[in-house]
Amino acid sequence: MFACPPFSRIIGDECFHYKVVLEIKFAGINKIASLKKFFLGHKIDFESNISKFKGRIVHIDAEDLLISFTDVSSAMECATTLKNNFEYDKVVTMAICAGVPITEQNGFFEKVIAEANKMCVIESDKIIISSEVEALYESANLNRSVDANSFYVLQKGEMQFLSELMAITNAKFGNDAFTSNDFYVELHLSKSQFYRKITRLFGKSPNQFLKDADLDY
């Protein structure tokens, strides 16, 4: 069996390199200025830090900044540097996601971005990373653990719950008859299980989550 380089996976007889995405979402930044204006005002600082870690800006709009990397460690170091160097921690969420393009089919990169976008709805003062990013980091760094003070690791079960929750939220948006009590029925959870999952991820009650979701649309 041959060995793949770091941040790669053997599939069949080939090595496939992971694609890594760092998404920076500015929640509520519109009350201050658009992200694009904020970015332009700090353009030199942003670009020097991103290029230092071999990142590449792939998208920017009023609320989101997407940066791609070829390895997890660089993405995590860049995210930490940006979060520490700029005074926007109260309005920013950062999420890092990774995946392997098993085929060259269109839409793979969009799937990784979509995963990062879902993770950004979680309210945390830490940088959110997927469990796959954690595993890649530890594998490439001699099993050194991720810094729990800086990063929140979203486990696979939490990611599945988040995906199902967002799908229901999008489908039921605008339905005034739909309440927080209907969520746990749709998700096949008990009321207490649903409450624990919501408060763990969002730090708020299910009723408050539903109210905020309406305001965010």
* Residue 146 CB coordination number (10 Å): 19
| Residue 2, in any domain of the structure | no
Q: Which domain holds residue 176?
A: 157-216
125 and 143 inside one domain: yes
- Do residues 130 and 167 both lie within one domain? no
Output the tens digit of pLDDT for each of the chain's 217 residues: 434 444 444 334 444 456 788 888 765 544 445 566 666 666 667 788 888 999 988 887 767 788 999 889 999 999 998 887 665 545 578 899 987 654 445 555 677 788 888 898 887 889 999 998 999 899 888 889 999 999 999 999 999 999 998 888 888 766 777 777 778 888 889 989 999 999 988 888 888 887 776 645 4
For the chain, the domain total comes to 2
Which pTM value belongs to this model? Answer: 0.77
Contact 60, 47 (CB under 8 A): no
- Asked if residue 150 and residue 161 are part of one domain, the reply reads no
In a domain, 93, yes or no: yes
In this structure, are 21 and 55 located in the same domain? yes
**Residue whose entry in the numeric block shows the structure tokens 């590449």:** 56
- Domain end marker among 125, 154, 183: 154
- pLDDT, residue 5, reads 43
pLDDT value of position 32: 44
- Residues of 73-103 as b/e, b for ≥16 C-beta within 10 angstroms? bbbbbbbbebbeeeebeebbbbbbbbbbeee
Whole-number Å distance between alpha carbons of 134 and 144: 10
Indicate if 84 and 176 belong to the same structural domain.
no
Whether the CB-CB separation of 19 and 76 falls below 8 Å is answered with no
Say whether both 69 and 108 belong to one domain: yes
